Each structure stands twice: as C-alpha cells, then as structure tokens.
Amino acid sequence: TSVHKMDGFFVDSSTQPFTFYAVEAKSSILPTPKTPAKGHRYGILNQMIESLEKYGAVDERFDFTTVRDILEASFSAGEAAVIRAALFPPGPENLVRLGMAVINESTIDTKDDDFILTEQCPVQFDFRAVTVTDLSALAEAAYNRILKLKG
C-alpha cells in the first residue's frame, strides 16, 4: 500500500513471522547523451540514500498507523490482526527496508553499482535494481492501461 513517506509498504504473509517491506523506489530514464551527469549515482541513487537517511522514527510510526487503518482492504481478518499487532511500537521484528531503482537497460553503469554498494548510509537497507528496455514506453503503457480501467 502507499504510505506517508515510503513509496510502498508490503507484507509477505506466506512467511512466519510475516516479513514486512518498507520500499523507497526511484525511477529514471536518465542519463541520456544530453545529460551533463553521466550516471544514476548523481540522481536517483543519491536521492534514494538521502530519503532513507531522512526517514525517522516519527515517519515510521505514521506509516505504521496508515497501514493499520486500511488492512481489511487487502488481508483476511486473521492476517490483518497479526499485521496490526506487529505494527504497534516498536514495530515488526521482520522489517526489511528496500531501496529499489527502475532504470533503462541502456543506462547501466558499473560505477553506479559501486556507488550503491559503498556509499555510507546510517540506515541498513537491501537494494534491487529493475532494468527495462524502454522505461518511457513502459510507463506510458501502464498509465494507458490504468486510464482504460478507470473507464
């Protein structure tokens, strides 16, 4: 679900205990040949680390409250009860902070990999990169599909 500060909050109810994911996601079609900075480390990867650093205990509590308020829309009553209990302070034991970058395949740069693997961040997080052949076209197709569903 969408929350206050994180881009998404997910629960894997197939694990025991449940695994909770607080996701900070960034996407970019850059860099392009016209972009002065050549690499995602100057843009979305740096922004991701800054966002994770600024995400504090108050933000987390607000996000947990937001999720607790809308559980019944996505989970069975039993799952919702377990999740609700886990989201009271101090929060779930099994919380994974996940940084996710979605980029064009043509913009892959090993220097970006080195950056995300070595840049200092006081918040421990996992990282995943999703590469697509044409992010702009994929986004357009996704938005068009949503518009069709809306009617």
Give me the amino acid identity at 146: I
- Work out the average pLDDT over 30-38: 74
User: Which residues lie below 8 Å from residue 26, measured CB to CB, with a gap of 6+?
Assistant: 44, 45, 47, 48, 99, 100, 101, 102
- pLDDT recorded at residue 17: 93
- How many Cβ atoms sit within 10 Å of the Cβ of residue 64? 25
On the question of a cis peptide bond just before residue 31, with omega within 30 degrees of 0, the verdict is yes
Q: What does the mean pLDDT of the chain come to?
A: 87
Contact in structure between 52 and 97 (CB atoms under 8 Å): yes
- Phi first, then psi: what are they for 58, rounded to 5°? -65, -45
Q: Give the three-state DSSP class for 12.
A: strand
Write out pLDDT tens, residues 68-115: 888 888 889 999 999 999 999 889 999 999 999 988 888 888 888 889
> Angle of helix 110-118 relative to helix 44-54, nearest 10 degrees?
10
- pLDDT recorded at residue 11: 93
**pTM for the whole thing?**
0.79
- pLDDT recorded at residue 24: 92
- pLDDT recorded at residue 42: 77
- pLDDT recorded at residue 95: 94
Percentage of the chain exceeding pLDDT 70 = 97
Instruction: Identify the band that residue 31 occupies on the pLDDT scale cut at 50, 70 and 90.
Output: low
- Per-residue pLDDT for 35 more than 80? no
Q: Give the three-state DSSP class for 43.
A: coil
Which stretches of the chain are DSSP H helices?
A: 44-54, 57-69, 77-86, 110-118, 135-150
